[in-house]
Amino acid sequence: MTTDCDVLVVGAGPAGAVAAIVLARAGVSVRVLDRARFPRFKLCGDSVNPGAMAILDRLSLGGAVAGALPVDGMLVSGPDGTHSQGTYGAGQQGRILSRHRFDTALVNAARAAGACVEEEVLVRAPLLGDGRVHGIELLTNGRSCQLSARVTIAADGGSSRLARALGIARHARSPRRWAVGAYFDGVGPGTRGASGGCFGEMHLRRGRYIGIAPLPGGLVNACVVTADRGALHKPMQLLLDTLHSDPAFSHRFADARAVTRAVCLGPLGVEASASGVPGLLLAGDAAGFIDPMTGDGLRFAMRGGELAAGVALDALEHGRYDAHQALARARRREFASKWRFDRALRALSGSSMALAIASRAARLAPHYLERTIAYAGDVV
């Protein structure tokens, strides 16, 4: 059977772009498809933590965060009004910049590496035959067609059409949370670090948490994550009521003005029962993720893209059909301890008593908070 390319990558976000970069640099013919046109708006915390920075440096992609704000660590507050802040330590920093800039830079890097990137293409389903995936069915310019490849990488997000069509991914049953976020200007200043960097903010409240991150140009990303589905009918009202009523930060938003509409995303949790099937590998949120309250979502995505690309290269070289099993083993080795950590934090954020205990512990023993923030930031 003739193929249109060696590898098809569905989704040009950070996971798909990194996978395409690794593959194209290795001399593989890569075709990347995405339903969006870049630059695109993407609801995210906009945080590139130290672990994600290490991946960018290793792949010589540091230019993707050019002009970003340096971030020294995190400020965390609890429902009782206590707050603590901790640096990443070890002299390391992260970066904060909007996803539309970051994603576009990675897509351009994939093109520069030799990948063929096609935008505004809707992938409809996997192309199946002989017990494996041979490519995809797509819709472009109103026309339906098929593309074949020796390996397909599904990096098309938490609502992946490919993973769901194959029955290997679904939204988590519990807890079910949704994120609502927008960009604001006119926000009062936040905390600055001793090295000149800013601090990301995570405010844990009963039934919700709020993330606040300053961006270049004076904008601020504000996002509330809640399990209250009824409040989602008026997303901007939910966001404004939250920002204007909380004493920890309401004074900073007194004169703020929303410069984008409020975007709603969710349910956030995605569970994957496998890392792919014969002929298809999962990467990024399509492979499963926990709501990203620790700011490590981009590191998961980029490292997952790297792992999928490495497994794909091995499959191409040796003609293997068990690449999805090799990817599952690689992902467990890489992410298992961090998955447990994130699940523990997610459970803590849903318990009022646990939040109160954690707030007191952070106040009495701040070095534990520092260690937690460093681990959450994937400090190398």
pLDDT > 70? residue 362: no
353 pLDDT above the threshold of 60 = no
Asked if residues 132 and 39 have their Cβ atoms less than 8 Å apart, the reply is: no
266: pLDDT confidence band, cut at 50, 70 and 90? confident
The mean-pLDDT minimum among 45-49, 152-156, 204-208 falls in 204-208
Lowest mean pLDDT among 29-43, 194-208, 355-369: 355-369
Beta strands in 121-197, from DSSP E residues, in sequence order: 122-129, 132-140, 143-154, 169-171, 178-185
Q: What is the CA radius of gyration of the chain?
A: 21
- Cβ within 8 Å of residue 288, ≥6 positions away: 169, 270, 271, 272, 282
Per-residue confidence band for 291, with pLDDT thresholds at 50, 70 and 90: low
Q: In the chain, where are the structural domains located?
A: 1-45+99-173+269-347, 47-97+178-265+350-380
- 18 and 309 Cβ atoms separated by less than 8 Å: yes
The two three-digit tokens of residue 67, written as one number: 């002009």
Q: What is the pLDDT of residue 172?
A: 77
Predicted TM-score (pTM) of the model is: 0.92
* Predicted local distance difference test score (pLDDT) of residue 62: 96
With H, G, I as helix, E, B as strand and everything else as coil, classify residue 67. Answer: coil
Q: Is residue 196 a contact partner of residue 70, using CB atoms and an 8 Å limit? A: yes
pLDDT of 354 strictly over 60 = no
Is pLDDT above 70 for 292?
A: no
Q: Are strands 220-226 and 208-214 parallel, antiparallel or unpaired?
A: antiparallel
Least confident range from 49-58, 147-156, 271-280, 350-359: namely: 350-359
Average pLDDT over the chain, rounded to an integer: 89
Q: What pLDDT, on the 0 to 100 scale, is given for residue 238? A: 96
Interval 30-42: pLDDT, tens: 999 999 999 998 8
Q: What is the pLDDT of residue 80?
A: 77
The mean pLDDT value for 194-205 works out to: 83
Q: Which CATH architecture has domain 47-97+178-265+350-380?
A: 2-Layer Sandwich (3.30)
Tell me which of 3.50.50.60, 3.40.50.300, 3.40.50.1100, 3.40.50.970 is the CATH number of domain 1-45+99-173+269-347: 3.50.50.60
Short-list 24, 78, 32, CA closest to 354 = 78
pLDDT tens digits, one per residue of 96-140: 999 999 999 999 999 999 999 999 999 999 999 999 999 999 987
Q: Are residues 71 and 96 in contact, defined by beta-carbon separation less than 8 angstroms?
A: yes
Tell me the pLDDT band of 361, cut-offs 50, 70 and 90: low
CA max distance for the chain: 66
- CA distance linking residue 104 with residue 101, whole number of Å: 5
The runs of H, that is alpha helices, within the chain are 14-25, 50-58, 99-113, 161-165, 235-245, 297-318, 323-349, 352-364, 366-376
**pLDDT per residue as tens digits for the range 306-349:** 999 999 999 999 988 899 999 999 999 999 888 887 777 766 66
Least confident of 151-165, 270-284, 337-351: 337-351
